[in-house]
Amino acid sequence: MSALRTIGALTAREMLKFVRDRSRVLGALAQPLALWLLLGLGFQNTFQPPQGSVGGSYGAFLLPGILALVLLFTAIFSTISIVEERTSGFLQAVLVAPTPRTALVFGTTLGGTLLATVQALLFLGALPLIDLSPGVAGVGMIVAVCLLTGLAFTALGFAIAWRMETTRGFHAVMNLFLLPLWFLSGAMFPVDGAAPVLQVVMWGNPVSYAVSGLRHGFHGFAGTPAALAGPGVCLAVTGAFAVLMTGLAVWQVRRPFFQT
């Protein structure tokens, strides 16, 4: 019960921090939205959609990747507070409290995951602009993938932030991990059109399956362009990635800060 109360309190705290810091909304939504509009309009007349796809504009092709980018940015903004709270003393207070350290992981990642999913789902309002209608099953697929991807990104950010001493170092390491994962996920270009060496990397990138799962959802499981695998495989790989990153965060928290 103590662990559950801690998880609930930390999740609510993440929500409260978000409400009080409106610049996080601007940072997490404005940049992906601007990127989607600029690239979507810029490549509108030059993009050749994959054969048999529904919703043949580049904006429709790019939108699943933009949702993944929103989840990525939200993970960065949610977990950077771990570095700041170490210097403020809040983290030390939580660690000496009579509750398991894993509650800190689950409370922080759950709050970040819910915030990331809500922000990503705001982009569903753009569906009429690109002539896509996913249906109830498609929306369910989108929500499931967003939750799992948000959990994976937030847990990875937590694991990285736990050992960081400065926010500058955190940003450098996060950009080193997360941005290449996004760029090589098939978000901006299909796997089939990439160089052979990049195709191997993209097939092994777990974020590629999250983007493909979002594509299945947006296209209502019909005429899905550039999907690496079927919906079930995409969900399974994304779920395994989320479990692996959560396990990494738990392992980091259980390690002592100083080892002899």
In this structure, are residues 210 and 245 in contact, taking their beta carbons and an 8 Å threshold? Answer: no
Handedness of CA 83, 85, 89, 91 (dihedral sign): negative
List the chain residues with pLDDT less than 50.
Answer: 52, 54, 258-260
Token representation of residue 93: 């207070």
259 within a domain of the structure (yes/no): no
Instruction: Say how many residues make up the chain.
Output: 260
Determine the Cα–Cα distance for residues 124 and 133; give it in Å rounded to an integer. 10
Q: What is the pLDDT of residue 196?
A: 87
208 within a domain of the structure (yes/no): yes
SS3 category, 116: helix
Q: How many domains does the chain have?
A: 1
60 within a domain of the structure (yes/no): yes
Q: What is the pLDDT of residue 98?
A: 67
84 within a domain of the structure (yes/no): yes
Determine the Cα–Cα distance for residues 212 and 109; give it in Å rounded to an integer. 23
223 within a domain of the structure (yes/no): yes
Q: What is the pLDDT of residue 46?
A: 67
Q: What is the pLDDT of residue 115?
A: 85
Longest CA span, the chain: 61
Q: What is the pLDDT of residue 259?
A: 46
48 within a domain of the structure (yes/no): no
* pTM score of the predicted model: 0.83
260 within a domain of the structure (yes/no): no
Tell me which residue range forms the domain holding 129. Answer: 2-43+53-254
165 within a domain of the structure (yes/no): yes
